[in-house]
Amino acid sequence: MTLATPTFAQTIATPVKLEDHSERGVTMKGASALASDLLTRRDSEQAQGDLAGASSTDAENGAAPPAQTNDRIEVVLTGAVVADASYSGSDGTGSYFGGAQFLPILLVGYGDQLLVETHMEITTDSDGETETSLEYAQVNYLVNDWLTVVAGKFLSPIGQYQQALHAPWINKLPTAPAGFTEEGGASPMTETGLMVRGGFKIGAGTATYAAFVGNGPRLGELGPMLEGFGGDDNRNKAIGGRVSYLPTPDFEIGLSAMRARILGMPAMAGDVSQATYSLVGADFAYTGGYWDIRGEYLRSRLGEINSAKEPTDPMPTTIPRTKWEAWYGQVAYRLAGISSNKVIANFEPAIRYSRISVSGYSEFADVQEQRWSFGIAYWMKPAVVAKVAYEIADFPSAPSAKRLNLQLTFGF
């Protein structure tokens, strides 16, 4: 007696578990092989008329289900919990356990075309206080296959790190690249306003776009604060966006741009002025095989502006035209590519070089830094990861800092 080989339809009806394919290297990359298996089997069965017979039977039985509309409200809680620790023998901060972070994302779907997304950041600071912030709260209207309209506070679509990689359960290293942080960074974090975005096929490739209009940045003590404010202090809207093209699913190249007018920080007395802020950027990503190779470059400038240096200044100061440049290059490799051992295969070493430089106003230049990061991640589950990284940071006006960072992230 011989056992019949399952048909494609039978196979596809069986729930797929990644663990079933651990022989492919205990890695999510095994999913690609799984998908290929399924499609190959489908093609084979099509050739045998297997599926054709099934289709005609379905049609005869009137089995093709009618299109259904979906007006159901669905609520999903996702997000991450993060624990950090750090040690430095060179900068005097010693060792400490960083503040824990609870990063819940609440998704509410209403039917097939409406989706609400809210993301809170709940953290503990060094004084033991709990800080709460709203990273984004947006309503998405999925108009058609290639257009979604977004309203509210959303992640900036400029570049790739902020909108795609900054989540701790995605980031290969415990820290963000130099210049891609909230305080004095050159990378826009969030925006409040309207955005259109989507993707569509062009030949064998895929093109994506995102364009926004929003309240825009404000000037702070470390430079432009590139985040979404719930009001507009100068009634001039910021515009910007990003386009990208993927000739193959594992290679993407993107271009970004943004333009805004920024109002000087008010002083106790005296008039402040406005200046134009402009940004251009480019990024790429290659994720073929077990490699994850990425790079991103941002260049921005702010024209001469009359502004207070800090809110308590009696009079504004003329701040000269200032230019920022920030970039990083990062290479990571999942060891599943060289070992089928279930433990070794879950390690992923990563190296990153990042840099931010500032020319113009000297007090904005305090954020200048170049940093090497050498890390390794151990993926216990696809979104549960322990990371350790050794970082060497050089500053133009301060001693170098060497730091060991550890992070445990549980994404859910």
Partner 1 sequence: MKMRMIGLAVSALILGGAVAFSSATLAQSDDQTPQSSDPMQIARGAKAWSEYCGRCHNIRDPSERSGRSWSVVSKHMRVRANIPGATAKDIEAFLKSSSND
Scan residues 238-267 and list those touching partner 1 (CB under 8 A): 238-239, 244, 249-250, 252, 259-261
CB of 28 to partner 1, least distance (A): 4
Nearest partner of 361 among 302, 298, 300, 279, judged by Cα: 302
Of 112 and 310, CB closest to partner 1:
112
Is residue 293 a contact point for partner 1 (CB under 8 A)? Answer: no
Is residue 333 a contact point for partner 1 (CB under 8 A)? Answer: no
Give the pair of three-digit tokens for residue 147.
Answer: 């257009």
> CB under 8 A: which stretch of 15-23, 218-226, 367-375, 393-401 binds partner 1?
15-23
Is residue 303 a contact point for partner 1 (CB under 8 A)? Answer: no
Is residue 143 a contact point for partner 1 (CB under 8 A)? Answer: yes
How big is the chain by its Cα radius of gyration, in Å?
25
Total number of residues binding partner 1 (CB under 8 A)?
A: 87
The mark string for 362-381 relative to partner 1 (x by CB under 8 A, - otherwise) is: -----------------x--
**What is the identity of the amino acid at 313?**
D
**Tokens 């099934």 found at:** 54
First-to-last CA distance in the chain? 46
CB of 410 to partner 1, least distance (A): 13
Buried b (16+ CB within 10 A) or exposed e, 98-117: bbebebebebebeeeeebbb
Is residue 104 a contact point for partner 1 (CB under 8 A)? Answer: no
CA distance 326 to 334: 27
Is residue 197 a contact point for partner 1 (CB under 8 A)? Answer: yes
Is residue 392 a contact point for partner 1 (CB under 8 A)? Answer: no
Residue of the chain from 83, 142, 280, 351 that contacts partner 1 (CB under 8 A): 142
CB of 205 to partner 1, least distance (A): 11
Restricting to residues 151-180, name those near partner 1 by CB under 8 A.
163-165, 167, 169-170
**Tokens 């290679």 found at:** 251
CB of 117 to partner 1, least distance (A): 6
Of 99 and 241, CB closest to partner 1:
241
**What is the identity of the amino acid at 314?**
P
Is residue 124 a contact point for partner 1 (CB under 8 A)? Answer: no
> CB under 8 A: which stretch of 134-142, 223-231, 264-272, 400-408 binds partner 1?
134-142
> CB under 8 A: which stretch of 24-32, 264-272, 298-306, 308-316 binds partner 1?
24-32
**What is the identity of the amino acid at 90?**
S
Nearest partner of 52 among 9, 114, 5, judged by Cα: 9
Helix 50-60 vs helix 30-47: angle between axes, to the nearest 10 degrees?
Answer: 70
Instruction: Compute φ and ψ for 276, nearest 5 degrees.
Output: -85, 135
Of 83 and 142, CB closest to partner 1:
142
Q: Quick one: DSSP state of residue 75?
A: E
Q: List C-alpha distances in Å: 226 to 278, 354, 364.
A: 12, 19, 14
Is residue 311 a contact point for partner 1 (CB under 8 A)? Answer: no
CB of 345 to partner 1, least distance (A): 12
**What is the identity of the amino acid at 141?**
Y
CA distance 342 to 14: 25
Residue of the chain from 96, 97, 141, 291 that contacts partner 1 (CB under 8 A): 141
